[in-house]
Amino acid sequence: MNPTRPKILVVDDTPANLVAMRRLLARADAELFEASSGNEALALCLDHQFALVLLDVNMPEMDGFEVAQLISEADHLRETPIIFVTAAYADDINRLKGYTSGAVDYIAKPINDAILQSKVKIFLELYRARALLQQALDELSLRNRQLTTEMAERIRMEELVRHQATHDALTGLPNRVLFRERLEAAIASDDPSFALAYIDIDGFKGVNDTEGHAAGDELLKAIAGRIDTRTRDSDTVARLGGDEFAVLLHGTPDGPTALSRCQVLCDAVGEPYTLDVGGQSLRVNVGASIGVTLYKTGADYDDVVIAADVAMYVAKRSGKNRCVLG
């Protein structure tokens, strides 16, 4: 893509000089603008980005030095190159004043066509090079933003896939995969003071068979919410499948503590439920048989899980809706 065609501003209060400059710059590959006063020049500078300003020094009201000074003080204009066109080029004082005001070069009057064309060509080439560089930088910046967005989206998708692979779709709780990771991490920790509780919901099958799967799903979500809100942030509540849950209870050093914490869960699950099923209110009651085991040094994943599972079946055979330490 070609950069925008460069623009040249010629500022001179003498119409004949403007006509002459127009003729001399006819071969320059640039769009030409003209101003007959300093105020007019400043107004044009506000509306256009000029590759070069050819500025007459001697003008009434506002001379070239003042115009150059104002241009150089504006943040968005200070990079605009200014060439003074003056008959006082040989005057060192005026030349120094011009450079101080912001000029980059001088062209003496009467204007030499070859000198003008050569200097204008240099500044137009510089403008085009800067425009191409800026275009490349803008494209690079855009691509960097795109890559940042793409990377963020990829990370988001990877996290989503990871979450879906490790969490139960219905309740949002960790599933068996993440539960195993957490339990193995607890076993491998320096201070494995924890208990594992296995929970089986008493009466769930009856609700599911009588009221339908939609009611069963709503009940499972409600049960998951109750268990989750009655455990610590450091604990892990998982749905293992069907109506079976597991809870990794950290900071549980002894049997009475484990049974006390499990009783809180048992009582919570046993409270009545009011479910919204297809816009209809449904009231149901279920219970929980909970088996809990303390981690013993040297036990592995299977040892802990089997102990909790056996204790849970003991609770069911003992009359259900109770907690048993295994």
The catalytic residue positions are 243
Reference 123, options 76, 57, 79; nearest CA is: 79
Place of tokens 């149901």: 284
Reference 41, options 58, 15, 64; nearest CA is: 64
Contact 249, 261 (CB under 8 A): yes
How far is 291 from 301, CA to CA, in rounded Å? 16
Residue 82 pairs in a beta bridge with: 53
Question: For the purposes of burial, counting CB atoms within 10 Å of the CB of 238, is it exposed (0-12), middle (13-18) or buried (19 or more)?
Answer: buried
Determine the longest span between alpha carbons in the chain, in angstroms.
115
How far is 59 from 69, CA to CA, in rounded Å? 14
How far is 225 from 253, CA to CA, in rounded Å? 25
Cβ–Cβ contacts within 10 Å for residue 270, how many? 16
- Sort strands 287-294 and 82-86 into parallel, antiparallel or unpaired: unpaired
How far is 163 from 275, CA to CA, in rounded Å? 27
Radius of gyration of the chain (CA): 41
How far is 8 from 120, CA to CA, in rounded Å? 9
- Residue 126, token pair as written in the block: 């510089």
DSSP state of 105: E
